[in-house]
Structure 1
Amino acid sequence: MKRPNPPRITDEDRRLFRDAIGEVQRLAPMAPPPATERPAPHPRMFEADEAAVASELLDMDFDPATLEVGEELGYLRDGYPPRLLRQLKRGQFSVGDELDLHQMNAAAAQASIVAFLAEARQAGVRCVRIVHGKGLRSKAAGPVLKALTDRMLRRRDDVIAFASARAAQGGTGAVIVLLKEQK
């Protein structure tokens, strides 16, 4: 749509304006403020993340004996037929979206999982893959993101079932999640 041209300013408009504002005194041009040297960037968030790792690992309620690096995950909510979990393990559901948690700390991974599952349900996606990794660099702490993913998915009401992915889809480093239908 084309905007209308502004009305032209007439000599009468100019005269009325000058009469209304009175005498005008021009100001001398001002010099720009002196340039200040900017401080060097400081990686505050990186340092905070690194400092938080130790306390996060201590707060994880993680027992390495309960979940080994190569252990497969599997869960089926009560009230659903066992064939759903078997179908999920066999790869009989089409994965509609994927989330990769690699390089995330536990807090970022947790927030990402919550947001990802909400977006998937909103979009009507019933089956998703979450790549949590195998925890090979987690050392004595065990697979931190794998344990976090397992715990979170078991507690969510919108998760019907989940199982470790087939080898071609990430194996024990990923889970395939079946979500309830959006109502």
Structure 2
Amino acid sequence: MKVNSLDGLAAVQRVLRERRRRAEEEAARRAAEEAARRREHELFERSVGPVVRLRSRNLAEIVRPRPLPHPRQRELDEAEVMRVALSDEFDPESLMETDDQLSYRQSGIGDDVLKKLRRGVWVTQGQIDLHGLNRDAAREALAGFLIDAGKRGWRCVRVVHGKGLGSPGRQPVLKGKVRSWLVQRQEVLAFTQARGPDGGAGALIVLLDSSRSPDGRLR
């Protein structure tokens, strides 16, 4: 019995020694980690100066929905394509109707479309006013407007170019330019001078093909 008691005591001592060894190793590991954190903290303080912890205000953290990404660069690219595509060298006279309103319709578009456009059968869904803009600014604004109209799926729009009464020599510079630019666009099916209440000789009513994308491709 005495021998067995001594063996059991020795086993207990071995277990205790192993526990002490593990505890000492764990304490040493924690001390090393704490020392490393202090060194990093001291290095940070030497770099940026003393740091004061902000007082907790116990405010709720609200997750706000982020705005959807806006394809600004793509819009700029499309506007540039439109600007380049609208040439000032193009002569639209051969494509115009020979009436006093210089109306226009694409090949394959019947004359009844122009008649309806003149009568105001289609409601205008949007408009752009180019008053006061020079040629380049007006061309860019019109390009952007056509892009936006295509994205919105608009079918009938009004383009106000003015009568040119304020231009040098009282010549309507934009009036002819706007017609020339519109004729070059595939999505422009037809246009005609607006009726008196809608701007008369200072505006155009434009019929658009909503099945075409802003860059002229079918979608």
Q: Which runs of 5+ in 2 are unaligned?
A: 1-31, 50-87, 91-99, 212-218
CA shift, 1:124, in A, is 0.8
Is 1:136 the counterpart of 2:165? The answer is yes
* AA at the equivalent of 1:146: K
| Aligned partners of 1:73 and 1:172 also within 8 Å | no
Cα distance in 1 between the residues matched to 2:196 and 2:42: 83
Determine whether 1:19 maps to 2:64. no
Verify the 8 A CA contact 1:73 1:175 in the aligned structure 2. no
In the alignment, does 2:122 pair up with 1:93? yes
The structure with more helix, counted as a fraction of residues: 2
Q: Deviations over 1:88-132 (max 9, x none)?
A: 011111100010101111111101111111211111100000010
Q: Distance in 2 between matches of 1:163 and 1:130?
A: 10
1:27 and 1:118 map into 2 onto residues whose CA distance is 51
Equivalent-residue separation in structure 2 for 1:152 and 1:99 (angstroms): 14
How many residues matched?
134
Counterpart Cα distance in 1 of 2:40 and 2:121: 80
Q: Does the 8 Å contact 1:85/1:163 carry over to 2?
A: yes
- Cα distance in 1 between the residues matched to 2:89 and 2:155: 30
Aligned to 1:77: 106
| Equivalences for residues 26-105 of structure 1 within 5 A | 72-105=101-134
Give how far 1:155 is off: 1.3
User: Structure 1 residues 21, 89: closer, same or farther in 2, change over 3 A?
Assistant: same
Aligned to 2:69: none
Taking CA–CA contacts closer than 8 Å with sequence separation of 6 or more, which of the two structures ends up with the larger relative contact order? 1
Q: Does 1:145 align with 2:174?
A: yes
Aligned position for 1:179: 208
Residues 141-150 or 172-181, more deviating: 141-150
- Output the CA distance in 2 between the equivalents of 1:118 and 1:104: 19
Q: 1:109 maps to what in 2?
A: 138
CA distance 1:162–1:18, shift in 2 (3 Å): same
**1:126-176 Cα shifts (integer Å, max 9, x gaps):** 000001000001133721111110101111111110011110010010000
TM-score, structure 2 as length reference: 0.54
| CA shift for structure 1 position 26 | 8.6
Give the drift of 1:72.
Answer: 2.8
Looking at structure 2, the residues matched to 165 and 130 of structure 1 have their Cα atoms a distance apart, in angstroms, of 9
Deviation at 1:77, TM superposition (A): 1.1
Normalised by the length of structure 1, the TM-score is: 0.64
SS at match of 1:115: helix
Provide the rounded CA distance (Å) in 2 between the counterparts of 1:77 and 1:145: 22
Secondary structure, aligned partner of 2:191: strand
Which runs of no fewer than 5 residues in structure 1 stay unpaired? Answer: 1-11, 29-59, 63-70
What percent identity do the matched residue pairs reach? Answer: 37
